[in-house]
Amino acid sequence: METSPPRRKQRRPPSDGDPDAAAAEERSVDCLPEDILKNIVSRLPISDAVRTSMLSRSWRRRWESTPGLCHLWSRGAHPAAIGAVLARYSCFVCEFCSRGIRREAFHFTDDWICLLAAKGVKSLTLSFWEYGVLNVGVPILHPAIFACDNGGRELEAMIQMSPLLESLELDNVELLDDEIDDWIIQTPNLRSLTIVSFTDDGWQIQELPSIQEAHIIVEEYFIDRDFVNLLTCLSQVSELELHLPFTEDNALEGLSCSFQKLRSLTLHTNFNDASSILSTFSLLSRAPNLKHLEMEVIFNDIPILIDAVSG
């Protein structure tokens, strides 16, 4: 057993007489100590937690000071309400997730991001959708464009100013600013990084001392991207998923670091040419503790799945 928990507030003893009858009179949740009531509220979905403010005067502002609320919003949530809830919530935000953000709601996210940065958000998921212009009247949605006003610089600054950020997922994020060549992803507590996109948006990774898990799936990398440097920055990961580049030469030529902690590796590669085979082996030969290997061979646009488990 660890050290004893802090002393609890004792409930007032029931009045004399039959304890059962006394207890029955007092069985309102309002007789429970404040830390218990907050414990209950912290387990509610965010919209239910906010709605407790309608219960009574003592419940009016309880959710605002309840630590640990998960800000996971369903698709139907009104974007103005999300912002208002964030503004009123006075604790740190561990997890924020809003999916299916429509085009007309894009501008709300600027406010959310400022509020979340101030509240030390640890996990932030924003997924954007827009209606396909060619499918007017047909509710077909496709991944939309996360258009930060100032492109990568703003995103870069946001990431750098979030020292508690542990997990970053950029799913089909496209930066519209042509001026941006290199912008840097650098934050001390990042454990998990996911980048999924079709084109290369010029991100660079630097100093991620806590990184444990990385998924880098970019279909078309910049021709001059330095993969040796990229993988050297990720040498501490235990789980790696990588879309290997299709280059003329072995993109991992000269890789000198060793992936001692790497347990699970998923590669998307093209065994068409010698360079991709060489890249694959450059990586595998430097991962002595690999337990699980999965490869997707992209071959004439038809993926063939190969599963392999090595001891």
Partner 1 sequence: MAAGKPVVMVTLVSSDGQSFQLLEEAALLSAMVRDTIQIGQGRGPAGIPIRNITGQTLSMVVVYCNKHYTAAAAADGDDAADEEKKVANKKQLREWDEQFINLEQDKLYDILVAANNLGIDGLVDLCCWRFADMMKGKSASEIRVKLGIRDDFTSEQRAQIEKDSPWVWSRTT
For position 141 contacting partner 1 by CB under 8 A, the verdict is no
For position 20 contacting partner 1 by CB under 8 A, the verdict is yes
Question: Looking at 19-27, 117-125, 197-205, 211-219, which segment touches partner 1 (CB under 8 A)?
Answer: 19-27
What stretches of the chain adopt beta strand conformation (E)? Answer: 71-73, 95-101, 123-131, 141-143, 167-171, 183-185, 192-199, 203-205, 213-220, 239-243, 264-269, 292-299, 302-309
For position 310 contacting partner 1 by CB under 8 A, the verdict is no
In the complex, the smallest distance separating the C-beta of residue 44 from partner 1, rounded to whole angstroms, is 5
Nearer to partner 1, 11 or 107 (CB): 11
Question: Looking at 22-30, 174-182, 204-212, 254-262, which segment touches partner 1 (CB under 8 A)?
Answer: 22-30
Among 15, 21, 34, 60, binds partner 1 (CB under 8 A): 60
For position 48 contacting partner 1 by CB under 8 A, the verdict is yes
Among 70, 72, 81, 94, binds partner 1 (CB under 8 A): 81
For residues 262-300, b (16+ Cβ closer than 10 Å) or e, as one string? bebbbbbbbeeeebbeebbebbbebbeebeebebbbbee
Nearer to partner 1, 48 or 149 (CB): 48
Distance (Å, whole) CA 194 – CA 245 = 17
Q: What share of the chain is helix, strand, coil (3-state, %, to 5)?
A: 30, 25, 45
Nearer to partner 1, 30 or 149 (CB): 30
Burial class for 205, CB neighbours closer than 10 Å (0-12, 13-18, 19+): buried
For position 139 contacting partner 1 by CB under 8 A, the verdict is no
Among 11, 107, 142, 291, binds partner 1 (CB under 8 A): 11
Distance (Å, whole) CA 74 – CA 48 = 12
SS3 125: strand
Identify residues 187-226 at the interface with partner 1 (CB under 8 A): none
Say which DSSP state 120 is in: T
Question: Looking at 10-18, 133-141, 179-187, 225-233, which segment touches partner 1 (CB under 8 A)?
Answer: 10-18
Closest of 141, 139, 93 to residue 120, by C-alpha: 93
Type of residue at 124:
L
For position 5 contacting partner 1 by CB under 8 A, the verdict is yes
For position 1 contacting partner 1 by CB under 8 A, the verdict is yes
Question: Looking at 6-14, 110-118, 133-141, 226-234, which segment touches partner 1 (CB under 8 A)?
Answer: 6-14
In the complex, the smallest distance separating the C-beta of residue 269 from partner 1, rounded to whole angstroms, is 29
Distance (Å, whole) CA 295 – CA 281 = 12
Nearer to partner 1, 10 or 300 (CB): 10
Residue 301 region by backbone torsions, left for phi larger than 0, else alpha for psi between -120 and 50, else beta: left
Each residue 61-80 as x (binds partner 1 by CB under 8 A) or -, in order, gives ------------xx-xxx-x
Nearer to partner 1, 6 or 254 (CB): 6
